[in-house]
Amino acid sequence: MTPEELRQSAEAERQKSHACKHILGVCCAAGCQSMGSDKIKDALDKQVKLKGLESEVNVKSVGCLGLCAAGPLVSLESDGKKAMYQAVKEADVAEVVEKLGKAPVKRLELSLDIPFFARQQKIILENSGVIDPERIEEYFAAGGYEALIKALTDLEPAEVIDAVSRSGLRGRGGAGFPTGLKWATVAKAAGSRKYVVCNADEGDPGAFMNRSVLESDPHRVIEGMIIAGYAVGASQGYVYVRAEYPLAIKRLKTAIKQAEGKGLLGDKILGTTFSFRLEIRLGAGAFVCGEETALLVSIEGSRGMPRPRPPFPAEAGLWGMPTLINNVETFSTVPPILRNGWEWYSAIGTEKSKGTKVFALAGQIKNTGLIEVPMGTKLRDIIFDIGGGVPDGKKFKAVQTGGPSGGCIPESKLDMSVDYESLREAGSIMGSGGMIVMNEDSSMVDVAKFFTEFCMSESCGKCVPCRTGTAQMYGLLEKIHAGEAVKADLELLKELCDLVRTTSLCGLGQTAPNPVMSTLHYFEKEYTSLLKDGPGKPAAAR
């Protein structure tokens, strides 16, 4: 396909969609699907046929609409007016179709003015819930692959890297490394072959941003990766996806086939001299494989054990060759940066954290689901405004960010801005974007124990501080939790945290103490009140 043909296809698709007076978008991402959205789509299709409205009404599958808590969701666009229906049942279908073009069904309507929708700014999720993820034409119509055309026909690889650098984009996989700098390093590195790898392992439990992007808008990831390949001089890419995401894998496979069919992957892309191939590699349920060096050896078919860095993958990665590894969200941000210009992107967010970030809201929070907000948004706004606060009249206690590598942030810190630096200062990390809200009933010692158990069983066992240290930490936490520990145990726990943090080989071990240290920092009383010789205990017990 030439750029011209791609644009024609996009235009044809736009025409087609304008021809329909009403568009009903049924969410077909994993959340709504598990609540039966497939059946609702079928029922809508049937009803439209029954009423002979096929030419006026377009019923389509769309990706995640965000507010999973209110699913199954159906979006509605009638004569340019938008509305959303929540908790739709098969029994509602006849009425939904009947009311098309009239006032929407009040009983089902979910206002689009609520802060959950109104306060978001969507860049990565711009197509989620809008296009059918299984149709490349809809991605074209939404401006998809325009950035690739621009990169391949207008820009030198160095210019692409320059745009990414100037945009201020930082890695969304957790550490926030400047993306442009990483690309430049790979581009400069010497090697007979180079690789581009997408980290879609998303091992942080409680996080599902990457899953949703892959299920709702897979072409965006592919486009970002092809551009990256062009920029750094690689002709082969791999997407490392966790096997626990069957729907995401299926959609990605479909998307890769479509892109190959259109000549957007393979030899001589868009009629240029650039070639790029993409393959999927499945993870197999090891958290440590999210760590980049472990991920690379896992692609090579071995046990996912990290190795010391340097050399960084940018210099010696897959099969010893220079390898660019970025997160799903990082790649997904590249096409809009090229399409709209780095100036546009760098104007969003804070001074050091540019752009938007997708967060997964889960736990004791009313509006569970996916959101995208500019960096620098206040944590309180995310949880209470957008998230709707804590349900059942309970009090907020803490929000956990960054998963097993992160920490718990208490009420007193909620007014801080969400960006890489502030979160780190507060003793947590941005991580991949999971936010788990806990109410007053959650025990922070229990949460610390939970994450320590996680790190203990996910430790790859290569180095002693992490392998043995996390097990010892877990033992102490169990003892404290059971009310059998004394002050000296708590001191030992603190010492161990320090040791594991400073002497472990990879990020897993280095950050494993974070959940313990942050809960100890903000909620030390919960620990001391469990000690046999803690404050308030009779002297006789000491």
Partner 1 sequence: MTQSKTAVKPPTEDKRWRIVEATIRRNGAQGQALIEVLHSVQEVFGYLDDPSLVYVAKALRLPLSKVYGVATFYHFFTLKPQGKHTCVVCMGTACYIKGAPELLKDAEKTYGVKPGQTTPDGELSVIQARCIGSCSMAPAVVFDGQVAGNLSVADFGKKVESMLKTPTAAVPA
Query: Helix 514-528 to helix 464-481 angle, to the nearest 10 degrees?
Result: 20
Select 33 or 323, whichever has its Cβ closest to ligand FES.
Answer: 33
Residue 96: both structure tokens together: 């939904």
Residues paired with 84 in a beta bridge: 75
Structure letter (DSSP) for residue 349: B
Q: How many residues does the chain have?
A: 542
Residue 504 interacts with ligand SF4 (CB under 6 A)?
yes
Does 168 participate in binding ligand FMN (rule CB under 6 A)?
A: no
Q: Does 247 interact with ligand FES (rule: CB under 6 A)?
A: no
> 298 is in the binding site of which of ligand FMN, partner 1, ligand SF4, none (Cβ under 5 to 8 A by kind)?
partner 1
Which residues touch 389 (CB under 8 Å, ≥6 apart)? Answer: 365, 366, 383, 396
Residues 457-496 that bind ligand SF4 (CB under 6 A): 459-463, 466-467
From 78-86, 283-291, 353-361, 523-531, span contacting ligand FMN (CB under 6 A): 283-291
Binding segment for ligand FMN (CB under 6 A), chosen from 224-232, 287-295, 369-377, 462-470, is 287-295
Residue 512 to residue 509: CA distance in whole angstroms = 5
Q: 26 to 45, contacts with partner 1 by CB under 8 A?
A: 30-31, 33-35
Of 86-94, 172-180, 506-514, 526-534, which segment contacts ligand SF4 by CB under 6 A? 506-514
Number of residues counted as binding ligand FES (CB under 6 A):
2
Quick check: 408 binds partner 1 (CB under 8 A)?
Answer: no
Footprint on residues 419-478 left by ligand FMN (CB under 6 A) = 432
Q: Return d(Cα 90, Cα 395) in angstroms, integer.
A: 36
> Which one, of 155, 139, 157, 142, lies nearest residue 264 by Cα?
139
Tokens of 470: 């996390």
DSSP class of 417: B
Residue 175 binding: pick among ligand FMN, ligand SF4, ligand FES, none (C-beta 5-8 Å cut-off by kind): ligand FMN
- Residue 508 in the binding site for ligand FMN (CB under 6 A): yes
Contacts (Cβ under 8 Å, ≥6 apart) of 231:
151, 157, 160, 161, 164, 183, 187
- Partner whose footprint covers residue 504, from partner 1, ligand FES, ligand SF4, none (CB < 5 to 8 Å by kind): ligand SF4
User: Is residue 96 helix, strand or coil?
Assistant: helix
Does residue 57 contact residue 19 with C-beta atoms inside 8 Å?
Answer: no
3-state secondary structure at position 35:
coil
Give least dist CB 236 to partner 1, A. 13
Is residue 205 near ligand FES by the rule CB under 6 A?
yes
Residue 349 makes CB contacts below 8 A (sequence gap 6+) with 168, 355, 356, 374, 375, 376, 419
Instruction: Give me the 151-180 binding string for ligand SF4, x by CB under 6 A, dash otherwise.
Output: ------------------------------
Q: Is 87 helix (H, G, I), strand (E, B) or coil?
A: coil
The span from the CA of 482 to the CA of 516, in Å, is 16
306 binds ligand SF4 (CB under 6 A): yes
CB 394 → partner 1: shortest distance, Å?
12
Q: How would DSSP label each residue in 259-303?
A: HHHTTSSBSSGGGSS--BEEEEEE--S-GGGGSHHHHHHHHTTS-
Cβ at position 297, least distance to partner 1 in Å: 10
**Minimum distance of ligand FES from residue 74's CB (angstroms):** 23
181 part of the interface to ligand FMN, by CB under 6 A: no
Does 505 bind ligand SF4 (CB under 6 A)? Our answer is yes
Q: Where does 77-178 have alpha helices with state H?
A: 93-98, 115-118, 136-141, 146-154, 157-167
The yes or no reply on residue 311 touching ligand FES (CB under 6 A) is no
- Single out the residue of 23, 83, 87, 175 in contact with ligand FMN (rule: CB under 6 A): 175
CA neighbor of 375 nearest in space, from 176, 223, 218, 215 = 176
CB of residue 331 vs ligand FES: minimum separation in angstroms? 23
Return the one option of partner 1, ligand SF4, ligand FMN, none that residue 364 interacts with (CB less than 5 to 8 A, by type). partner 1
Told to check if 206 binds ligand FES by CB under 6 A, we report yes
| Residues in touch with partner 1 (CB under 8 A) | 30-31, 33-35, 68-69, 202-208, 211, 243-245, 248, 281-287, 298-304, 360-364, 368-370, 400, 403, 434, 436, 438, 442, 447, 450-451, 454, 460
| Residues in touch with ligand SF4 (CB under 6 A) | 288, 306, 459-463, 466-467, 504-506, 508-509
